[in-house]
Amino acid sequence: MNGMKVFTTLCLTLVLSLGSIGAAWAGKVQQQLLQESMVEQVIRRGVLRVGMDTFLPWAMKDKTGEFVGFEIDVARRLAEDMGVKVEFVPTKWAGIIPSLLTGKFDVIIGGMGIRPQRALKVNFTIPYDYSGMDLVAHTERAAGFTTLGDFNRPDVEIACKLGTTAVTAAKKHMPLATLRLFDDEPQAFQELRNGRVHAVIASAPRPAYEALKYPETMFRPLSSTFTKEPIGFALRKGDSDSLSFFNSWITVVEKEGWLAERHQYWFGTRDWEYLVE
């Protein structure tokens, strides 16, 4: 009987010891994960590196060469609230996700639509804004076009920026049309002004701005956007700490009305135009 008591005591001692070791190990792992999170790295570094590309009015260069735009305001406010500086890393849109995954920057804040195919590669925050695809057409080449169906023909050429959801929207809504893809949006709109394509598909409000600026050569066949997509920050997978922080930050600035105010300024007015022209 005494032998049984000794055995039981030894077993309990072993279990308690393993439990203590397990708790200590779990605590160490948790602390290691916390230290290795992107947010913690940014705070230690003192700089938030933001991957982005130029899209009017999301991100543009002003007359002095500084970046301005809705996304720029969002990134600057985020860095300020984190107590760090912000560094913008301009990146071609077609390669922006691979650049994030290889660590060239910490997060993408660049009007990126939340899509299942992208979510297989990156983690998205909750939406902080919404966008949609719009279409602007050439007055002569697309004369009489008033619906998406009018553009869904093999003899119609549509320009889009490579790697954007504009390409996805064009393939879905105008599968018969011929797509011409460009690295930069200005190239696509220049092709339209020169009459080399029938239309350009891009995120609102750029198509509407172009139609207002060049009424002799461009018009909007549709009265509104033909898609709606949520926009989120994109970060590398496996970083729940950073994802939680970003989601909390978006919730706070949304509730205080700051996001809506910035959106109205950049998308609802042209008060900023003097900065870039």
* Structure confidence by residue, pLDDT tens digits, 224-239: 899 999 999 999 999 9
The amino acid at residue 151 is F
Q: What is the mean pLDDT of residues 72-86?
A: 98
* Average pLDDT, rounded, for the chain: 89
The amino acid at residue 160 is C
Is residue 207 reached through a cis peptide bond, with omega within 30 degrees of 0 on the bond before it? no
Encode pLDDT of 177-210 as tens digits: 999 999 999 999 999 999 999 999 999 889 999 9
* CA–CA dist 222, 105 (Å, integer): 38
Selection from 93, 114, 96 nearest residue 105 by Cα:
96
Structure-token match 């879905």, residue found: 172
Q: What is the pLDDT of residue 8?
A: 53
Q: Higher pLDDT residue, 87 or 22?
A: 87
DSSP string for residues in 28-92 = HHHHHHHHHSHHHHHHHHTEEEEEE--BTTTBEE-TTS-EESHHHHHHHHHHHHHTSEEEEEE--
Q: What is the mean pLDDT of residues 161-169?
A: 91
Q: What is the mean pLDDT of residues 246-250?
A: 98
Q: Domains along the chain?
A: 39-130+229-276 (3.40.190.10), 133-219 (3.40.190.10)
With 80 as the cut, is the pLDDT of residue 137 above it? yes
Q: Band of the pLDDT at 154, cuts 50, 70, 90? A: very high
Q: Are 38 and 239 in contact (CB under 8 A)?
A: yes
Exposure b/e, 137-158, CB count within 10 A at least 16 = b = bbeebbeebeebebbeeeebbb
Q: Band of the pLDDT at 223, cuts 50, 70, 90? A: confident
CB atoms near residue 240 (< 10 Å): 11
- Tokens of residue 100, six digits: 């994030």
- Tokens of residue 25, six digits: 């190990």
Q: What is the pLDDT of residue 26?
A: 43
Lowest mean per-residue pLDDT among 31-35, 89-93, 143-147: 31-35
Q: Band of the pLDDT at 249, cuts 50, 70, 90? A: very high
Phi, psi of 241 (to 5 degrees): -65, -50
Q: Band of the pLDDT at 48, cuts 50, 70, 90? A: very high
